[in-house]
Amino acid sequence: MRDVEAEDTEDKYSAIKLNGNPITELRYADYTALLSKTTEGLNELMQNVKKFSQNKNLLLNAKKTKVMDSDKSPASSILIDNEALENVTHFNYLGANIQADGKITPDIRKRLAIATSKLKSMMNIWKSQSTPLKI
């Protein structure tokens, strides 16, 4: 059961709500994205994740952890064990390229290039007269 402190943090800092419920994290397997509308909120979320991880004998890797601001304010300074996390303008989450400016054009171009490459690699099979039509 979630504790009251975590729920208060979510309500206070969540940038996104779905059906009235605050969304502060996206998780899939070992990938996690924390979402907050303030630097203070993101710091608090990071500390909660760090505390939870330590209770499960897991460590956060500061070198693999990144911070992305989606507004025009100065880059956030988020720390894990007094080590500043790298600020980025984009990151890859489950195959999708997430941009700080919210644009999806680079991701669409990447996906089109992959699809075009796969299509071209199969052209000789589709055009072949010797490929049997019956299986």
pLDDT tens per residue, range 6-26:
555 556 777 788 888 888 888
- List of residues 6+ apart from 11 with CB closer than 8 A: 22
pLDDT value of position 5? 52
- Please choose, from the candidates 19, 89, 5, the residue with its C-alpha nearest in 3D space to the C-alpha of residue 48: 5
pLDDT value of position 120? 94
Share of the chain above pLDDT 90, in %: 20
50 found inside a domain = yes
Q: Into how many domains does the chain fold?
A: 1
132 found inside a domain = no
105 found inside a domain = no
Mean pLDDT of 109-129: 91
d(CA 58, CA 128): 54
Domain range for 18 is 4-100
pLDDT value of position 9? 56
Q: How confident is the model at residue 133 (pLDDT cuts 50, 70, 90)?
A: confident
Q: Is the pLDDT of residue 78 over 80?
A: yes
d(CA 110, CA 95): 10
Q: When comparing pLDDT for 12 and 127, which is higher?
A: 127
76 found inside a domain = yes
Q: Is the pLDDT of residue 74 over 90?
A: no
- List of residues 6+ apart from 46 with CB closer than 8 A: 34, 60, 78, 80
pLDDT tens per residue, range 38-55:
888 888 999 999 999 999
Mean pLDDT of 76-81: 83
Report the 10 Å Cβ neighbour count for 8.
11
